[in-house]
């Protein structure tokens, strides 16, 4: 499954050159990931209520073209890999008007309990694990 999240580039996200600052993409990826997971059937807060955390352990981003204030950004998110302990999500950020790819990225997460100890999702939350497996995009 692939999910698209739309965001409007805000003035506060621009740098002195008038383009969206590179650090903003990590925030945009988080917004897309949160919406994507909710679309699959469980929210981050729902995971936390069940004693699960999903901290970020890796972030990659490759920039191709700049984004500017008020551009509509469409971020495509999909699960690349899901293991009992890790989750890898990939992203493609596009300018919605031109369909040009602005950036691609990947985040790597580890499933943990409330004390930040890794958990085996097959045992701790098999329903969530299966949901992730079912939504891997080949």
pLDDT tens per residue across span 24-67 = 999 999 999 999 999 999 998 999 999 999 999 999 999 999 99
> Structure pTM?
0.94
How high does pLDDT run on average in the chain? 96
| Percentage of the chain exceeding pLDDT 90 | 94
The pLDDT of residue 1 is 86
Map residue 98 onto helix, strand or coil.
coil
Residue in the block written with tokens 């079912």:
134
Buried b (16+ CB within 10 A) or exposed e, 22-61: eebbeebbeebbebbbeebebeeeebeeeebbbeeeeeeb
User: Among 3.40.47.10, 1.10.10.10, 3.10.129.10, 3.90.25.10, what is the CATH number of 2-134?
Assistant: 3.10.129.10
Confidence at 137, pLDDT banded by 50, 70, 90: confident
């Amino acid at each position: 499954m692939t999910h698209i999240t739309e965001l409007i580039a805000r003035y506060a996200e621009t740098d002195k050159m008038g383009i969206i600052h590179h650090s903003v993409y990590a925030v945009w990826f988080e917004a897309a990931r949160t919406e994507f997971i909710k679309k699959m059937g469980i929210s981050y807060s729902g995971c936390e209520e069940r004693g699960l955390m999903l901290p970020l352990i890796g972030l990659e981003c490759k920039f191709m073209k700049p984004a500017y204030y008020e551009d509509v950004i469409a971020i495509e998110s999909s699960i690349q890999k899901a293991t009992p302990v890790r989750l890898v999500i990939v992203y493609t950020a596009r300018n919605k008007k031109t369909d040009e790819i602005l950036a691609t990225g990947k985040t790597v997460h580890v499933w943990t309990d409330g004390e930040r100890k890794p958990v085996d999702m097959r045992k701790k939350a098999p329903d969530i694990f299966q949901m992730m497996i079912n939504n891997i995009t080949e």
